[in-house]
Homo-oligomer: A and B are copies of this chain.
Amino acid sequence: MMKPAPRETILSLFSQTPGGFVSGERISAELGVSRTAVWKHIRSLRQAGYQIEAIPSRGYKLAKAPDVLMPESIQAGLGCRLVGSRVRCFDETDSTNLQACRLGDEGEVDGLVVIADRQSSGKGRMGRQWESPAGVNLYASILLRPSILPFEAPKLTFLSAVAVCRAINNCTGLQPTVKWPNDILLDGAKVAGLLNEMSSETDQVHYVVLGIGVNLNMHVDQFPADLRYPATSLAIMTRQPVSRLDFTRTLLQEIDVLYQIFLEQGSVPIMSAWTDLCDMTGKPVMVDCNEVQIEGTMTGLAEDGALLVRTKTGKIETVYAGDVRPASRGSQCFSS
> A residues engaging B (CB < 8 A)?
101-102, 105, 125-127, 149-151, 153-154, 157, 181-182, 195-204, 206, 304, 320-321
The answer to whether B204 and A321 have CB atoms under 8 Å apart is yes
The answer to whether A200 and B202 have CB atoms under 8 Å apart is no
A149 — which chain B residues lie within 8 A by C-beta? 320-321
Q: A101-B105, A105-B101, A198-B198 are in contact. Are A203 and B151 (CB under 8 A)?
A: no
Can you list 8 A-B contacts (CB < 8 A)?
Answer: A150-B150, A150-B151, A154-B202, A157-B202, A195-B201, A197-B200, A197-B201, A198-B199
A127 — which chain B residues lie within 8 A by C-beta? 204
User: Residue on B with the closest CB to A151?
Assistant: B151
Q: How many copies does the complex hold?
A: 2
Q: Which of A196, A197, A203 has the most CB of B within 10 A?
A: A203
Q: In the complex, A199 Cα to B181 Cα: how many Å?
A: 19
Q: Identify which of B102, B203, B204, B320 contacts A203 (C-beta below 8 A).
A: B320
Q: A101-B105, A105-B101 are in contact. Are A202 and B125 (CB under 8 A)?
A: yes
A101 — which chain B residues lie within 8 A by C-beta? 105, 199
Q: In the complex, A150 Cα to B125 Cα: how many Å?
A: 14
The answer to whether A197 and B199 have CB atoms under 8 Å apart is yes
